[in-house]
Each structure stands twice: as structure tokens, then as C-alpha cells.
């Protein structure tokens, strides 16, 4: 019984945020390299917040305003971003793993050097988003709105873009599945130095 209690405590502490970090962030909207893992930040106005380098794994960010937020290098593993507006935010180098992101807006968001893994989003908006050297593994952007998005030096072989809107999106120096190349051409996307496999 004693070992079970210790194990339960250790596991729960792995997903616990630092209360001091949360209090500081809610007061100032500035908390770099903070531990906010598992924090409930749902329905908050975090416009232009600075969360660079922070741990947001397991955090609830649903229905949250993250417009123009600096989230450079954040850990979003298992985070909830359903109905979140993260337009024009900076997610450079972020770990975006197993997140919930239905009805999420990432218009104009910078995903350079970010990692997407085990992500499935419905009604996702990535219009004008920047994907420079972004990594995709088992990622589903089916029916996403991605007009004017920029993909450069990206391997899209593990990204599902079936039915996605990519009018005037730019794909450069990237690898794309053969069937997706056809879809992108039908969408009038701009392809340059793209390998259709």
C-alpha cells in the first residue's frame, strides 16, 4: 500500500504545474521556461502572451485567445487546443505531439522547425501559416483551410492533406505523396523543386 501511494504521488507530480509559475503568468502574461504542465488555461485571454520555452504538456488551452502569443520552443504534448485562436502566434521549434486541435485557428502562425506527431485536427485553419523545416509524423490535416500557407524543406509523406484547401499555397524543396501532388495542382498551389513520391 505504501508503495502504491508513493507511485501515485510520483505520477501525479509528473503532470503538475508550478503554482508560482501559473500565478506569475496569469498576472503578467509573461512566463518564459515555466512549468505549466497540466494547467487549466481554458477560456483565458492570453493575447500576445510570452510562453517561450515553457512546458504546456497536458495543459487545457481550449477556447483560449493565443493571438500573437510567443510560444517558441514550447512543449504541447497532450495539450487541449480545441476552439483555440492562435492566429499569428510563434510556435517555432514547438513540440506539437498528440494534441487536440479541432476548430483551431493557426492563421499566419510560424511553425518553423516545429514537430507534429500523432496529430489529427478537424476544421483546422492554417491559412498563411509558415512550415519551414517542420517535421510531420502521423499527422492529419484533412479538409484543413491552408490557402497561402508556406511549406519549405518539408517531408509531407506522413501528412494527410486529403480535401484540404491549398489555393496559392507554396511548396518548395519538399517531398509530397504522388496523390497529394495531384491534389495540390488541382488546388492551384505553387510547387517548386517538389518530389512527388
Q: What is the pLDDT of residues 142-196, one digit of tens each?
A: 999 999 999 999 999 999 999 999 999 999 999 999 999 999 999 999 999 999 9
In the chain, domain spans: 1-197
Third-level CATH fold of 1-197: Pectate Lyase C-like (2.160.20)
For residue range 70-126, list pLDDT tens digits in order.
999 999 999 999 999 999 999 999 999 999 999 999 999 999 999 999 999 999 999
39-74: buried (b, 16+ CB within 10 Å) or exposed (e) per residue?
A: bebeebebeebbbbbbbbbbbbbbbbbbbbbbbbbb
Cα–Cα distance between 67 and 147 in angstroms, integer?
19
Q: What integer pLDDT is reported at residue 22 of this predicted model? A: 87
Which three three-digit cell numbers place residue 64? 483560449
- What is the largest distance, in Å, between two alpha-carbon atoms of the chain? 63
Q: How far apart are CA 153 and CA 12, in angstroms?
A: 39
Residue 9 has pLDDT above 70, yes or no: no
Residue 11 exposed, middle or buried by CB count within 10 Å (0-12, 13-18, 19+): exposed
Cell matching residue 127: 491559412
Amino acid at each position: 500500500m505504501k508503495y502504491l501511494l508513493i507511485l501515485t504521488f510520483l505520477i501525479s507530480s509528473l503532470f503538475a504545474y508550478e503554482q508560482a509559475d501559473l500565478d506569475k503568468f496569469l498576472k503578467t502574461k509573461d512566463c518564459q521556461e515555466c512549468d505549466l504542465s497540466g494547467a487549466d488555461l481554458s477560456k483565458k485571454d492570453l493575447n500576445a502572451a510570452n510562453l517561450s520555452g515553457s512546458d504546456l504538456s497536458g495543459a487545457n488551452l481550449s477556447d483560449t485567445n493565443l493571438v500573437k502569443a510567443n510560444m517558441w520552443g514550447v512543449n504541447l504534448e497532450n495539450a487541449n487546443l480545441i476552439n483555440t485562436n492562435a492566429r499569428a502566434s510563434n510556435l517555432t521549434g514547438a513540440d506539437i505531439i498528440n494534441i487536440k486541435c479541432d476548430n483551431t485557428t493557426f492563421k499566419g502562425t510560424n511553425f518553423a522547425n516545429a514537430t507534429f506527431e500523432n496529430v489529427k485536427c478537424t476544421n483546422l485553419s492554417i491559412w498563411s501559416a509558415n512550415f519551414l523545416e517542420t517535421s510531420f509524423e502521423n499527422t492529419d490535416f484533412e479538409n484543413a483551410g491552408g490557402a497561402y500557407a508556406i511549406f519549405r524543406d518539408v517531408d509531407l509523406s506522413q501528412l494527410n492533406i486529403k480535401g484540404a484547401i491549398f489555393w496559392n499555397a507554396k511548396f518548395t524543396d519538399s517531398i509530397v505523396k504522388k496523390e497529394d501532388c495531384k491534389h495540390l495542382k488541382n488546388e492551384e498551389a505553387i510547387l517548386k523543386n517538389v518530389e512527388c513520391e
